[in-house]
């Protein structure tokens, strides 16, 4: 083997090493930028679908810390939202089935929005309102008349617990 072959292999190995280092640095910088932008470049959220069994768990918001999800607990449908997003999670129609049925029987759907305590309070309240509107629109798309939907601002809009738990809209049946 000649010394030019050795030099060529060393140059290739060195070039590959530099390219690998550049790739790692790019990924780290990209991740930091996305996190500082509030996750605006995050991947779309997915979730499982609810059944009509008692208190079915559709998706655990703690399992996917920043993904939209929906679950039903004791007849209350809880929509969890990704940071800075108002997109309703997949599976909303199935999770709202009992609410739609209750409205058809003469009850009202009561929609309440919550938000976390991070960031600007006024922006958080507006985002909680947009999330409640998104859930209201999902109910309307399922045939629920607007006069059968009550948008109710809870007395305490910042929920306790994790930020993931706090970024939610609850739908319950009322009188």
pLDDT, tens digit (0-9, with 9 covering 90-100), for 145-165 = 999 999 988 766 555 556 777
What's the mean pLDDT in 18-38?
A: 75
Of 69, 78, 73, the C-alpha closest to 56 is: 73
| Distance of alpha carbon 75 from alpha carbon 43, whole angstroms | 30
**Region label for 168, one of left (φ > 0), alpha (ψ between -120 and 50) or beta (otherwise):** beta
- Reported as a pLDDT band with limits 50, 70 and 90, residue 53 is very low
Residue 151: per-residue pLDDT: 92
Residue 167: per-residue pLDDT: 83
Query: What are the phi and psi torsion angles at 168 (to 5°)?
Result: -145, 165
| Distance of alpha carbon 116 from alpha carbon 124, whole angstroms | 7
Query: pLDDT, tens digit, for every residue of 32-43?
Result: 666 666 544 444
Residue 149: per-residue pLDDT: 95
CATH fold group of domain 69-174: 60s Ribosomal Protein L30; Chain: A; (3.30.1330)
Of 25-29, 56-60, 75-79, 122-126, the one with minimum mean pLDDT is 56-60
Global pTM reads 0.60
Is residue 63 pLDDT above 80, yes or no? Answer: no
Domain spans, the chain: 1-36, 69-174
Residue 34: per-residue pLDDT: 66
More confident position, 107 or 64:
107
Q: Percent of the chain scored above 90 by pLDDT?
A: 28
Is residue 136 pLDDT above 50, yes or no? Answer: yes
């Amino acid at each position: 083997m000649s010394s030019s072959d050795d030099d060529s292999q060393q140059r290739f190995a060195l070039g590959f090493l530099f390219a690998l280092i550049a790739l790692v640095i790019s990924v780290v910088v990209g991740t930091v930028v996305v996190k500082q932008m509030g996750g605006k470049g995050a991947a779309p959220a997915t979730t499982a679908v609810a059944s009509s069994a008692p208190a079915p768990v559709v998706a655990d918001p703690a399992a996917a810390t920043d993904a939209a999800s929906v679950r039903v607990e004791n007849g209350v449908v809880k929509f969890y939202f990704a940071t800075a997003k108002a997109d309703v999670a997949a599976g909303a129609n199935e999770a709202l089935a009992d609410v739609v049925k209750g409205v058809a029987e003469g009850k009202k759907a009561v929609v309440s929005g919550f938000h976390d305590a991070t960031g600007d309070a006024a922006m958080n309240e507006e985002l909680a309102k947009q999330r409640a509107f998104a859930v209201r629109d999902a109910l309307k798309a399922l045939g629920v008349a607007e006069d059968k939907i009550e948008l109710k601002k809870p007395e305490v809009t910042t929920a306790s617990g994790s930020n993931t738990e706090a970024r939610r809209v609850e739908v319950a049946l009322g009188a």
